Structure 1
C-alpha cells in the first residue's frame, strides 16, 4: 500500500496570497495617511487664511480710525519744515548762528520728530536744496491699497526664496500638472451639452485652475475624491502588480501632501513673525486682558500730535521773534523738556506701529 501523502498547496499560490495580503495592508495604511494629511492641510490652510485676514482687518481699522490724527501729523510736519525754511532763507543771521539753527533743524530730523529732507553726506549743500523732494501727502482714499500693496510686498519678499524651491520642471510640479490635466480633461465644459452640467463643470474648472496656480495638490486630490474619480480595483481579484501600482501612486500623492503641509506651516510661521503678525499677537493678548489695544494706540497718537504741536509753536515763536536766538537754542523750559521726552517716547511707539504697516 503506497504511503499516505498529504496534499500541500502550491508554493507559488501561497507566495502570491501573502504578497497580496501584504500589499493590501500597506495600501490601507497609505489611505489612512492620505485622509489624515488632507484633513491637516485643510485645517492649517483655514488657520493661515484666518490669521492673514485678521492681520489685514486690524491694520485697516488702525488706519481708518487713526487717519485724521495721522493726517494732522503730516500737516504739522509740513508746517514745521515751512517755518524753518522761512527762518533760514528769509532772515539774516551770522554764519555761526545760521549753522546752530540748521543744527537744531537737522537734530529734529535725526530724532525722527520731522521727516528727513537733507542729504546726510553733504550737510554744506545750498539751503534751497534742503527743501527739495518734499514728502507726498497722504491720500485717505488710497489707505486700503497702501496697506495691501505694502503688506503683500513684505509678505512676498519673505516667500520669494521659499517658493523658488519648487521649479516648474521638478518632479513635484510635473505630478501636480499631471493631476490637473487629468481632472481638467474630465471636467472640461466643452465635453458636455447639458447647460446645467456645463455650468457645474465651469465652477469645478475655476477651482482646478486656482488650485493649480497655487500648487495646491491637496485641493486637486480633494476634488478627485469628492467626485469618486480616484482609481479603485477589486481587491479580491487584484494582482500583486495592480495593488503595488496603486500603492506607489498613493505614496507619491502623500509625499506631495506632506510637502504642502510643511509649506503651510512655514507660511504661517513667517506670517506670525512679520511686524503685522506680531501686532495681531499683541492685540490678542490685550483682548485677553480686557484692554482696548487700538484705543491705546490712538490715545498715544493724540499725545504725539500734541507733542509735535508744541514743537511747531516753539519754532513759530522764534520765527515771529517772540523768543530770542539764545532761548531758541536752549530749547523749551525744563518742564517742557520733560514733557517732550514723554512725547518722544510715545512718538517712537507710534512710528513703530506705522512702520509695521508700511514695511
Structure 2
C-alpha cells in the first residue's frame, strides 16, 4: 500500500495571510508617518515664508520712515571722525594731551556713541617678535585639529546629501516620465503637463521632495494598498522608508531655517515689533523718537569736538573737558 504524501507546511494559506497582514500594518504605519511629515513640512514651509515676508515688510516700513534719520546719524558720525582725525594729524600736541584725546576718542567708540574705527598707533616690533612664534605654533595646531574635524564632518554631510539627492532625483525622474508633455497627444493635456513639469522642475531645483510628492498626490490617484501582493507591499515599504528618511531631514532643515531667521537682527526686530503692537505701542514712532534723541546727542558731541578743534575747549590732566573762555 503506497504511503500518503505529507502536506508541505512551508507556505500555507494562513502563513501567507499573516505575512500580508504584517506587511500591510507596516505599510499603513509608514504611510501615516509619510502623510504626517508632508503635512508638517507644508505647515513649517508656510510659517517660514510668512516670517520672511514679515521681515521684508517691517524692513521696508522702517526704511521709508527711519532711513532719512539714519542718514543724518551717518553724516554726523562721519563729521566727528573727521574732526578727531584733523585734530590728531594737524594740531601740535604734547604727548599727554594726545593720549587724553585718544582716550576720549576710544571711549566714544567703545561706548557705541560713534562708530568704531581702527586707531593707528606705534607698536614695538621686538615685542611682536617675542610672541609671534608661540602664537603661530598654537594657531597651526588649532587650525590643523579644526581642519581635520571639519573635513570629517564635511565628508559625512556630503555622503548624506548625495544619498538624499539621489532619492529626490529618482522621484523627479519617475514623475517626469509620467507628466512629460510628449506623453499626451491633445493640446489641453499637453498644456496641463507643461505646467506640472514647471512645478516639478522648480521643486527638483530646490531639493524639495515634499513638494514633488505633493504634486504627485494632487495629480495622480492613489493606489489601493489592500490589493497589493506581498512583493508589492515590500517594495512600497522600502519606498516609503526612503522617502520618509529624506522628508525628516527636510522637516528638520525647515525648522532650523526658521530658528536661524528668528535669531537674526531682522528676526528679532519682527518679534519686538509684534510685542510692541500687542501692547498698543507704535514701534516705528518709538524708533523714530529714539533716533531723534540719538541725533541730538551726537550733534552735541560733534559741536564739543569742533569747539576743541577751534581751541574754544581744552583737555585738562584728568581727561575731563572744560570751557576755555580766554
Please confirm whether the aligned pair reaches a TM-score higher than 0.5, indicating the same fold. yes
In the other structure, the counterpart of 1:257 is 247
Residue pair 1:217, 1:257 contacting (<8 A) in 2 also? yes
Residue pair 1:84, 1:315 contacting (<8 A) in 2 also? yes
CA distance in structure 1 between the partners assigned to 2:57 and 2:19 by the alignment: 57
Among 158, 165, 177, the residue aligned to 2:157:
165
CA distance in structure 1 between the partners assigned to 2:318 and 2:184 by the alignment: 83
Size of the aligned set, in residue pairs, is: 286
In the other structure, the counterpart of 2:312 is 322
In the other structure, the counterpart of 2:130 is none
CA distance in structure 2 between the partners assigned to 1:285 and 1:66 by the alignment: 20
Q: Deviations over 1:199-247 (max 9, x none)?
A: 33332222212212222111111111111165x36845x4322222223
Residue pair 2:168, 2:209 contacting (<8 A) in 1 also? yes
In the other structure, the counterpart of 2:48 is 48
Give the SS at the match of 1:115: coil
Q: Deviations over 1:125-167 (max 9, x none)?
A: xxxxxxxxxxxxxxxxxxxxxxxxxxxxxxxxxxxx89x8364
Residue pair 2:100, 2:315 contacting (<8 A) in 1 also? no
Among 189, 208, 221, the residue aligned to 2:213:
221
Q: Deviations over 1:56-106 (max 9, x none)?
A: 322332233211111101111122223233433444344433443343333
Going from structure 1 to structure 2, the CA distance change for 1:23 and 1:331 (only over 3 Å counts) comes to: same
Higher relative contact order (CA 8 A, sep 6+): 2
In the other structure, the counterpart of 2:127 is none
Asked whether 1:242 is paired with 2:229, we answer: no
CA distance in structure 2 between the partners assigned to 1:200 and 1:250 by the alignment: 28
Q: In the TM superposition, what are the counterparts of 1:117-196 in structure 2 within 5 Å?
A: 117-119=117-119, 122=122, 165=157, 167=159, 170-192=162-184, 194-196=186-188
In the other structure, the counterpart of 2:57 is 57
Aligned-pair CA distance for 1:116: 3.4
Q: Deviations over 1:21-68 (max 9, x none)?
A: 333333333333322221121111111111122223223322332111
Aligned-pair CA distance for 1:273: 2.7
Residue pair 1:318, 1:328 contacting (<8 A) in 2 also? no
CA distance in structure 1 between the partners assigned to 2:114 and 2:256 by the alignment: 38
Going from structure 1 to structure 2, the CA distance change for 1:262 and 1:332 (only over 3 Å counts) comes to: farther
- Which segment is superposed worse, 301-310 or 266-275? 266-275
Give the SS at the match of 1:165: helix
Residue pair 1:76, 1:312 contacting (<8 A) in 2 also? yes
Residue pair 1:166, 1:172 contacting (<8 A) in 2 also? no
Give the SS at the match of 1:23: helix
In the other structure, the counterpart of 1:299 is 289
What runs of 5+ residues in structure 2 fail to find an aligned partner?
Answer: 1-8, 125-152
CA distance in structure 2 between the partners assigned to 1:85 and 1:18 by the alignment: 87
In the other structure, the counterpart of 2:140 is none
Residue pair 1:168, 1:174 contacting (<8 A) in 2 also? no
Aligned-pair CA distance for 1:169: 6.3
